[in-house]
Amino acid sequence: MQRLKIAEILRTEPVNTSVLVKGWVKAFRNNQFIALNDGSTASNLQVVIDLENADPAIVDRIKFGAAIGATGILVESQGKGQTVEVKAESIEIYGDCNLDEFPLQPKRQSLEFLRENAHLRFRTNTFSAVFRIRHALAFAVHKFFNDRGFYYLHTPVITASDAEGAGEMFRVTTLPLENPPRTEQGEIDFSEDFFGRSTNLTVSGQLEAELGALALGDVYTFGPTFRAENSNTTRHLAEFWMIEPEVAFCDLTDNMNLAEDMLQYVIKYILENCAADLKILEDRLLEEEKSKPQDQRSELSLTEKLHFVTENKFERLTYTEAIQILKDSKPNKKGKFQFPVEGWGTDLQSEHERYLVEKHFKKPVVLTNYPAAIKAFYMRQDEPLEGVPGPTVAAMDILFPGIGEIVGGSQREERLDKLKQRMHEMDIPEKELFWYLDTRRFGTCPHAGFGLGFERLVQFVTGMTNIRDVIAFPRYPGSAEF
């Protein structure tokens, strides 16, 4: 008999047919009622044992966490909480679970404890819900871009360029670390390395994606990126996934429209297709909120926060306008901000971004036209703007409730002379990016794109407060397990 997944069975009208199910025991009551789950759904399937005919040796091995198979008749359930159940005719044990040694127990356990046992946390209701939603989000992202005619471009993981100019990169080498070859000047001689030069793990696929966009029109990347940033926080990872579309013949307004459409599309997809998993996570958050002081509790439930994004048109304003609002705000005047907003040129912090979204506008916010001094070299330089103290670039950040910035993007600088001038100002050697400059020498055109950290999106949609809880195998300073 072919195994049926529990998700499929729970969609089936009881027809008194024989079925084979396999999964892990979530609970076993009265030596008769098994709550079985195979990971295909948030819901368990009840399997009922015929005690009179069951093998006592088998029944004794049915423990929380054990992997079993059950063959029986699918019938309408007489109990509460489920529409169908399986009357078992035979039970097979695939893997025992010794509860004296198994770290997980059939009770609520802290996220900190589960982080310490991350190799087993998939088996909990919370984390199985998180990773089903993560999958659904990834599928929705690909569907959104595919339906709009974008091409999925795989950009290199190993690169010789630093797209962000941050310099916090992981080096890739086959040279012997204990005694690397050196030049006459005493520096490491990378000409003898595998690639014949110094290489690193990528921090972004953007620059390579631009090459694709300036031939294919609309492309996007969705792949791993790496930052050797020693940030041991709930918001940073050393390895994470980035979604980076690049679009030819596209300006800043087009870019904002694309990002807003994408975010609303994927979140609506989750609301429509992951209701059971969202309920598990929402219930967990409600329990967490009860232990917090009243002034620290969220004003919105998880699903309310998602509808906050899907049902509101994003507010658009310039960085200069935002600075004025923040300067004049009560928290700033009363010294409530950890980082006071003193004037134009301030690099906005998460507390400032959240104030604009949650308190001032009460809707998602798109900030544009940032000071050039705090943005990357590839962003298009604006014409001087009246009332703006300094040069700005055609950049945009999208801000969400509870999390602050979730998307960063810009119109790219397509003018060769302007781009070279900016690179010179930021000490970026032209010879290192000759291939990038060639796109401006031959058939250049206006184009734009943005970057969305996938884990940041998953964090927002699931309500998880630590980014290490939304990626299967988190990499952060001092930790590279599994």
- Model pTM score: 0.94
φ/ψ of 131, rounded to 5, equals -80, -25
Mean pLDDT of 241-260: 98
Q: Is 388 left (phi over 0), alpha (psi -120 to 50) or beta?
A: beta
CATH 3.30.930.10 residue spans of the chain: 123-168+203-469
Domain limits, CATH 2.40.50.140, in the chain: 6-102
Residue with the two structure tokens 């098994």: 34
- pLDDT for 165 equals 59
Residues in the chain: 482
- b/e sequence 438-451, b meaning 16+ C-beta within 10 Å: ebbeeebebbbbbb
Distances from the Cα of 42 to the Cα of 29, 130, 156, angstroms: 19, 10, 36
Tokens (6 digits) for 218:
């609309």
pLDDT surpassing 70 at residue 167? no
C-alpha dist (Å) from residue 239 to 208, 236, 277:
19, 9, 26
Q: Is the pLDDT of residue 276 over 70?
A: yes
Q: How far apart are CA 46 and CA 85, in angstroms?
A: 5
The CA–CA distances, whole Å, from 108 to 102, 114, 183 equal 15, 10, 59
- Secondary structure of residue 405 in the 3-state scheme: strand
CA atoms within 13 A on the CB side of 457: 27
For the stretch 329-347, pLDDT in tens is 999 999 999 999 999 999 9
| Fold held by 123-168+203-469 | BirA Bifunctional Protein; domain 2 (3.30.930)
What CATH fold (topology level) applies to the domain 6-102? OB fold (Dihydrolipoamide Acetyltransferase, E2P) (2.40.50)
Residue 49 backbone phi and psi in degrees, to 5: -90, 140
Structure tokens of 40?
A: 């295909």
pLDDT band at 51 (very low <50, low <70, confident <90, very high): confident
Q: Summarize pLDDT for 172-213 with one digit per residue, the tens.
A: 999 999 999 999 999 999 999 999 999 999 999 999 999 999
- One-letter amino acid of 10: L
- Quickly state the pLDDT bin for 92 (edges 50, 70, 90): very high
DSSP per position, 64-115:
TT-EEEEEEEEEE--STT-SEEEEEEEEEEEE---TTT-S--SS---HHHHH
